[in-house]
Amino acid sequence: MNDQAEALRHMVKSYEQQQENSRKTRVVTVTSGKGGVGKSNFSLNFAIALQQLGKKVLVFDADIGMANIDVLMGVSATYNLYHLLKQQKTIWEIIQEGPSGVHFIAGGSGFQDLLDLTAEELDYFEEQIEKLHGEYDFILFDTGAGLSKETVKFILAAQETVVVTTPEPTSITDAYALIKMVKGMEHNVNFKLVVNRATDLKEGKATADKIGLVAQRFLDTALPFLGIVQDDPNVSKSVKKQIPFALAYPSSEATRDVMAIAKQFCDLPADPDVSANGIKGFIHKMFRRSK
């Protein structure tokens, strides 16, 4: 009897250790205060950099009306989110593989319907999305720019939000306005900042300091600075080639910068709730209902 009890305790302990060692999925929104700052291009190359660091990454193209992750990769997506929402395909069938093994889900028109699902469609969507829990280290939602209701929904539901800005005054102002609006809704969102198209580190750091100091003073919000992506001519060349710059120009300044950002992001401690909530927490916050 004692041997059976000991064997049972060993099985329980082994199971608990397996659970502890299982992959913790971090859900991250990438957004910007205005369009034209290179957010989607950053999202794609950030995902590739994370993948090159040994992480398993899934990119959701959630930029309503401007979905273009597949175009930036030069990949033709057979299926997109719409096919999942209409219960025509499973989650595994709409996941496509891009360069460097990065998985992605094309947006198409699907995200426009996301917040207006029937009860049956919503149940199916939640059931399918929850299957991603533990399958990926990072799930990145590349949202639309600005303050649309869909973008705000993603920011509030994700565990972490990377805000992409440039040194231009209008971009700085709009990035701060987005953070201010979200904080005004009294949600505890974990923001981080990336400065794209900076002339050099000095300009990028000055831009980050401007936003960070104001956010700290008036919003009581810390805004960790992940780094810069320099204004590199190879970025526009890669867009024309439809090859991510991290792959087309691996020795470029932009690639070195995005790799440094990915390392910094992985090194920063995750919110304690990240491991506990994962994709299930995202789903619950996104639709504000318990199952």
pLDDT at 278 over 80: no
Q: What is the pLDDT of residue 17?
A: 44
Give the CA-trace dihedral at 48, 60, 62, 128, to 10 degrees: -170
d(CA 82, CA 214) in angstroms, rounded, equals: 40
Q: What is the pLDDT of residue 212?
A: 97
DSSP string, 40-71: HHHHHHHHHHHHHTT--EEEEEE-TT---HHH
pLDDT at 268 over 70: yes
Summary mean pLDDT of the chain: 87
d(CA 107, CA 111) in angstroms, rounded, equals: 6
pLDDT tens column, 27-73: 999 999 999 999 999 999 999 999 999 999 999 998 866 768 989 99
Give the pTM. 0.88
Helical ranges in the chain per DSSP H? 2-21, 39-52, 69-73, 81-85, 91-94, 110-113, 119-130, 149-157, 169-184, 201-219, 233-241, 245-248, 253-267, 272-287
pLDDT tens column, 133-161: 899 999 999 998 888 887 888 899 988 99
